[in-house]
Amino acid sequence: MRRSVRAVPGVLMITAVIAAAPMATAAQGELIVDDTTYKNPHGCLYLGVDKNRSFTNNTDNTISIYPTTGCLGFATAILPAGESGTYTSKSVQIG
């Protein structure tokens, strides 16, 4: 009986942590990279070879622009919602 009583607080704590964790959702709006439009983008997008690209962030989220694949390492630029600019990039993280 003691084991089940001890397990209850642990289960409740795990449930509280899971409930408090933020849920990943897609950005609302459009991210335009050169001539390609991504509607309601989410996660990390691979853009192709490392080159200068024009970004227009018409979403409700900030995006992070990376010179590497997989959105790894340090972002070369952070672009808030409603902003645009030209950056060298291979991938972009939404949110």
pLDDT digits (tens, 9 = 90+) for 28-83: 999 999 999 999 999 999 999 999 999 999 999 999 999 999 999 999 999 999 99
Write down the CATH number for the domain with range 25-94.
2.60.20
CA atoms within 13 A on the CB side of 58: 11
In eight-state DSSP terms, residue 81 is: T
10 Å CB burial of residue 41 (0-12, 13-18, 19+) is buried
pLDDT at residue number 2: 56
Q: At a CB cut-off of 8 Å and minimum separation 6, what does 59 contact?
A: 27, 28, 29, 30, 31, 40, 41, 81, 94
Q: Which residue has the higher pLDDT, 8 or 45?
A: 45
